Structure 1
Amino acid sequence: MTAPELMSIGAFAKLAELTASALRFYGDAGLLRPEQVDPSTGYRLYTESQLARAAQLRRLREIGMPLPVIGTFFAAGPDEAVQLIDDQVAKVTTEAAGVRQAAAVLKASLGEEPRRAICALPGPVLAAAVDQVVATTVHHPDVPALSGVRLEADPGSVTLTATDRYRLTTRTLVPMHPPAGTWAGTLAGDDLQSLTSRLRRSRTVTIEAGERALGLRLADGTVLHCRLLTEAFPDHHLLVNSLPEVTHRVTIGKQQTVRVLEQQAPERVGLRVSAGRSSLLLPDGDGVALDGAATGPDLTLWFELTTLYPALSHALGSDVMLDLRGPDQPATVRSADDGDLTTLVMPCRSADL
């Protein structure tokens, strides 16, 4: 009779969420050998203690880790194992970006989709703008457009906008030549992010609009492709136009403020306005006076570090302006230098503190 602590390959496969054939494969590969093999029947028997390794093996295969690397993973210490996972994720991410770009090129080649030149921008400036706004995108299964970047061109400017419903970031660029008419579309944020290194190395980038994809023509004639999303982008113009009046205006130095946040790294940080000056408040009660000026009556707002820091660290130039509307209204973080960057950030509710 089989010992009580041993189970058949079928029973173990069900608990491990693997197939019996997969267990045989992994056993023959030396990654998950059975606890015992019945010498007379050849039946493979497993114990409950092997389920944890089986679960790790299943998840490692889900992220596409090759079998030899999995063998190294099981023999590694915690730090090396974590690095192997990170390396695999980076590899898969790079491959996925290449697949998306190849798919975009294939789609654009179908019937040689006609494209209309919209405008030209300096490549390094466009790449930096993508970095500044794409951090505000988010993958949401119910709202696919939140993973996109809205591009709007008119005769005076080119604007990139992204939102995750908690933040709204808008970067306005000054084109090298006025855009030919108006154009608007939602670009796949992942595609844009994967192209930034090549955009940054091109002196100019000409934006060409098609029906299914946006073409980004580099100075050497190479055309990169970015998918256009078909889902409706949130009406950010309505949101901005419906904001209450500004009650306080704070001007601070970017470098000093960012340095304090990086050194202290609090979970939440307060912004206090008092007597025409502003300061940062930390949860332990310490305050740091900020260079600059402030208008409006005494007010204290609290922000999540993960919300406020990106808005400040991506700011343009050396000065940042904050338009405040009260403790329960979005604050606008503004900066300007060859165009402007605007980010809406929500303060914490008092109940969250």
Structure 2
Amino acid sequence: MKFRVERDVLADAVTWTARTLPTRPPAPVLAGVRIAADAQGVINLASFDYETSARSEIPAEVAEPGTVLVSGRLLAEISRALPNKPVDVALEGNKVIVTCGASRFTLLTMPVDEYPALPGLPEVSGTVSGDAFTHAVTQVTVAASRDDTLPLLTGVRVEIEGERITLLSTDRYRLALRELTWTPATPGFSAVALIRARTLNDVAKSLGSGGLVNLGLSTGQGLDLVGFEAGGRQTTSQLVEGDYPAVRRLFPDSTPIHAVVATAPLIEAAKRVSLVAERNTPIRLAFSEGQVVLDAGHGDDAQASEALEAVLVGEDIAVAFNPQFLLDGLGALGTDFVRLSFTHPNKPVEFTGQGSLDGEDDSSYRYLLVPIRFTG
């Protein structure tokens, strides 16, 4: 195998392909990136850990076709460190020689015949705007659990019905729901899948920068997979098994009280006030006509308070939240104003966005946060 490729093209492709490599691979070969050069001047890079696969395709001047397997993380570090000149890659015996300007690196190869076969990309189920997909995933994954002992809750439930996709996630303390439109490959397409939040986040960041993302689902055929493809890059991931809890019913049917506050000032005030909130202590929001007062700390501890303008519809109400969970929800909204809808001081509070102080709220994104009980 022997080829020449542009340094930036190689570095981007290797870094992207190697990004999901396991830190403790169950087999040594799974720490590798497979590089296949064909006679048509195309280099295919691939990685796989039995759960997630990644493939990328780049153009190159191929002198000798061939396939090798080398350490993915090492190749990624080397390719990023190379000078900005064309890179020559050649197989010599059981070593791969990487030459770029005056730099020369030698990498040992791994047994490519021991590398597992990668799963095929599922048939395309539909197409979604990359920007809209990235934004939606970012909004929803903030509420997914990071606790691997609860694998179901580390996933995002994806419900597809015709031209509408609904994303749902929860960690038991908050719940996020986001609806967006897409173009299904067949009219009336319907499916439900549970996809790892970290996989969705990674795909959204790496494939969603403009353009369109193809999404494919393969279920009920032995291996349940989701696949994404955009810009010459493909990734697949096994779906999470199990029945996701029926979380939609947690959203209240009606809310007799709601308040509207400018989002950015509320975020800044919450950050300031939460400076005195020690670990696992809440920040309190007290709503009354024309204002909301944020405060944290009590007794002999450090204390802080700040008042902001707010519109309140209904009777006065006070709630307390985990400061980080509050900031996560506010930051995910992406709107100038936030509407907080209440049923009771100790019942979950629904956050939705508004474009203006007296406008209608946008229910395409809903963030439900469980308050912390407080006394005094």
Distance 2:308 2:180 in 1: 29
CA distance in 1, matches of 2:233, 2:313: 50
CA distance in structure 1 between the partners assigned to 2:21 and 2:170 by the alignment: 26
Match of 1:270 among 284, 289, 310: 284
| Alignment-derived partner of residue 105 in structure 1 | 53
Residues 1:175 and 2:182 aligned together: yes
- CA gap 1:177/1:186 in 2 versus in 1, 3 angstroms: closer
Equivalent residues of 2:127, 2:182 under 8 A apart: yes
State the match for 2:372 in structure 1. 348
**Structure 2: tracts of 5 or more residues without a match:** 1-17, 32-46, 55-115, 356-361
Q: Which residue of 1 aligns with 2:229?
A: 217
| CA 286–144 in structure 1, closer or farther in 2 if over 3 Å, else same | closer
1:120-135 aligned at under 5 Å gives the runs 120-135=127-142
Whichever structure has more helix as a proportion of its residues is: 1
8 Å contact from structure 1 (residues 150, 184) kept in 2: yes
Identity %, equivalent residues: 20
**Partner SS for 1:96:** coil
The 5 A counterparts of 1:255-334 are 255-266=264-275, 267=277, 268-283=282-297, 287-334=305-352
Once residues 108 and 310 of structure 1 are traced to their aligned partners in structure 2, the CA distance between those partners, rounded to angstroms, is 40
Provide the C-alpha distance between the structure 1 equivalents of 2:123 and 2:206, rounded to a whole number of angstroms: 21
Displacement of 1:332 after TM fit? 0.5
**Alpha-carbon displacement from aligned partner over 1:20-64 (angstroms, at most 9, x marks no partner):** xxxxxxxxxxxxxxxxxxxxxxxxxxxxxxxxxxxxxxxxxxxxx
- Measure, in 2, the Cα distance between the counterparts of 1:291 and 1:174: 35
- Whole-Å Cα distance in 1 between the matches of residues 353 and 226 of structure 2? 28
Larger proportion of strand: 2
Secondary structure (helix, strand or coil) at the match of 1:197 reads helix
Contact 2:122-2:216 within 8 A present in 1 as well? no
Q: Which of 198, 222, 228 is the matching residue for 2:239?
A: 228
1:185 CA displacement: 0.6
- 1:95–1:116: structure 2 CA closer, same or farther, 3 Å change rule? closer
Q: CA deviation at 1:120?
A: 1.9
Q: How many residues align?
A: 256
Structure 1 residues 133 and 318, CA, compared in 2 at 3 Å: closer, same or farther?
Answer: same
Q: Which of 179, 188, 206 does residue 198 from structure 1 map onto?
A: 206
Partners of 1:133 and 1:160 within 8 A in 2: yes
Separation in 2, partners of 1:222, 1:333: 36
Aligned AA for 2:364? Answer: D
In structure 2, what is the equivalent of residue 149 of structure 1?
156
CA distance in 2, matches of 1:339, 1:176: 21
Equivalent residue runs for 1:45-60 within 5 Å: none
What is the CA-CA distance between 1:213 and the residue it aligns to? 1.3
Letter in 1 for 2:173: Y
Larger CA deviation: 250-259 vs 95-104:
95-104
Deviations 1:185-241 (A, max 9, x none): 1001222223233123241112111122111121x343222321111111112333x
Partner of 1:28: none
Please identify the structure whose Cα radius of gyration is greater. 1
Residues 319 and 294 of structure 1, relative CA distance in 2, 3 Å threshold: same
CA distance in 2 between partners of 1:156 and 1:322 (Å) = 29
Q: CA deviation at 1:128?
A: 2.5
1:276/1:295 contact within 8 Å kept = no
Q: Cα deviation per residue 1:84-138 (whole Å; 9 max; x = unaligned)? A: xxxxxxxx9853389696233399954x475351x32221221222222222222
**Which residue is 1:96 aligned to?**
22
Distance across 2 between alignment mates of 1:349 and 1:339? 27
**Aligned 8 A contact 2:350 2:368 in 1:** yes
Displacement of 1:292 in angstroms is 3.6
* TM-aligned CA deviation for residue 246 of structure 1: 1.3
